[in-house]
Amino acid sequence: MALYEYSALDGQGRQQRGVIEASGQKLASKKLRERGLFPTKLTSVREGQERRQWTLYRRVKPAQLGVATRQLSTMLSAGMPLDEALATVAEQQDQQQLGSALTRIREEVLQGTAFHLALQAHPLIFPPLYTNMVKVGEASGTLDKVLLQLAEFMDEQARFNSQLKAAMTYPALMFLVGSGVLLFLMAFVVPKITRMLEDLDQALPLATLWLISFSSFLADYWWLLLTLLLLLFWFGRRAAATAKGRLWFDRKKFHLPLLGPLALQNATARFARTMAALLQSGVPMLTALEIVQSLMGNHHLQQTLDVVREKVTEGAGLAEPLRESGAFPPMLPQMAAIGERSGELEGMLRKVAEIYEHQVETRINGLMALLEPLMILLMGTVVGFIVLAILLPIFQASQGLG
C-alpha cells in the first residue's frame, strides 16, 4: 500500500487536502470519488518528501491532536479495530503532517509493532506524556478510556492557553502600535515642527526645550539606542543559553513583581494537571514525575523535581518532598498530603490545577483590565505633553503680536 497526498473539491466546491492510502493512484482516485471528493491533484509521498515534512511536524497543534485522539477513542470504544480506526482518523485529517504520521503508525501496527512504540517514532507530534499513557492503556486493556482522558487533558490545556493568549494579545498589540507611533513622531515629525518654533526668535518654554532636546537625541542617536537594545538582547540570550544563566533566569522569573506569582501559579497548575492525568491513567509515580519534569520548561523547577523524584525513589511520598523544596505554593503539598491520606491523590491534584488555573485567568483579566486604561492614560499624557510643548510658543508669539 502506498501513501498519496491529495487536493480535491467536495460537493460544495470547497477545496480539501489530506492523505489517503491505496495500492495505486487509480485506486486512490476511486476512493476519493466514493467519498464525494473530486481530486485535482494526487501525488505519491516519496521518502524525500517525508524527510522534508518531518521538519514541519511542529505545526501540529495540541487542539488538532486532541480532536484526532477523541475520534480514535470513540471508534475504539465502538469496537472498531485499532488499524481501521487509525486509517479512518488519518483520512479525516485536514492537517497533512498528522494524517501522514497516523498512516505510517497504522502500517507499523499492522506489522506487529505495539501502538505506543509506533507513536514513539514521531516524538515531535506525540510527546512522552502521550506515549506513556497509551502504553498503560494498552497494558491494561483500557486504551479507549486512556485516549479519552488524553483528549480531555489536551482540550483543557488548549482552552487555558488560548484564554491566556487572547487576554494578552490586545494590550501587547496596543503597546507595540502606540510605542511605534510615539517613536515615529518624536524622531521624524517633532524635529521638523520644533525647527519652525526655533525660528520664532523668542524664549521658548521649558516644556518645549525638553521636547526639542529629546527629539534631537532620538533623531541623532536612534541607531545607538537600537544597537544597545540588540546587544542587550544578544547578551541575554547568550547568558540564558548556559546552564547557570538559564537556571538564574528561571529562578528570578518567579520573583518579578505582578508577573512572577502568575508564572509560578501557571507552572503549578501545569504540574498538577499533568501529574493527575498520568496517575489516573496508571502511570507509576516515578515515571510520571520524570515525564512532568521534562515538560515544565523551567530549569529551576526541573532541578527541584529531580530532587523530589530522588526522595520518592527512597520511599517518601509526594507531598513531603514538595513541601521541603519550597519551590511551589504551599497549597500544592498540602492538597497532595490530603490526597495521599485519603487515596485520592489524582483528584486532589486536579483540584489544585483547577484552582490555580482559575486564579491565573482571574488575575490576568484583572491586570489586563487595569493595564488598558493605564496605557491609554500614559500615551495620552505623552501626546498631551507634545501638543502642549508645541502650542505654548505659538500662543506666546500670537500674544506678542497682539
DSSP 78-121: TT--HHHHHHHHHHT-SSHHHHHHHHHHHHHHHTT--HHHHHHT
DSSP element (H, E) containing 44:
strand 38-44
> What does the radius of gyration of the chain's CA atoms come to, in whole angstroms?
29
Tens-binned pLDDT, residue by residue, of the chain (402 aa): 565 667 778 777 777 766 666 677 888 788 878 878 888 888 775 433 444 444 444 467 878 888 899 999 999 999 999 989 998 888 887 767 788 888 888 888 887 888 988 888 788 888 888 888 888 888 878 888 888 888 888 887 777 777 777 777 777 787 788 888 877 777 777 777 777 777 766 777 888 888 888 877 877 787 888 899 899 988 888 877 787 888 888 888 888 887 788 889 988 998 998 888 888 888 889 988 988 887 787 888 989 999 999 999 998 889 999 999 888 999 999 999 999 999 899 999 999 999 998 888 888 888 877 877 888 888 888 888 888 888 888 787 777 555
Separation between Cα atoms, residue 4 and residue 28, nearest integer Å: 7
Give the global pTM: 0.64
DSSP 252-299: HGGGSTTHHHHHHHHHHHHHHHHHHHHHHTT--HHHHHHHHHHHS--H
How many Cβ atoms from other residues are within 10 Å of residue 315's Cβ?
6
Question: Does the domain formed by 259-360 have CATH 1.20.81.30?
Answer: yes
Total length of the chain: 402
For the chain, domain boundaries: 1-45, 259-360
Residue 52 has which C-alpha cell? Answer: 522534508
Task: Give Cα separations from 164 to 8, 43, 60, 154, 297 (angstroms).
Answer: 36, 40, 20, 15, 17
Q: 322: closest CA among 266, 345, 313, 332?
A: 332
Q: For the sheet containing 38-44, what is the strand order? A: 15-22, 2-9, 38-44
**3-state SS, residue 21:** strand
User: Which residues is 6 bridged to in the sheet?
Assistant: 18, 42
**Please, what's the b/e burial string for 100-125 (b: 16 or more CB within 10 A of its CB; e: otherwise)?**
bbbbbbbbbbeeeeebbebbbebeeb
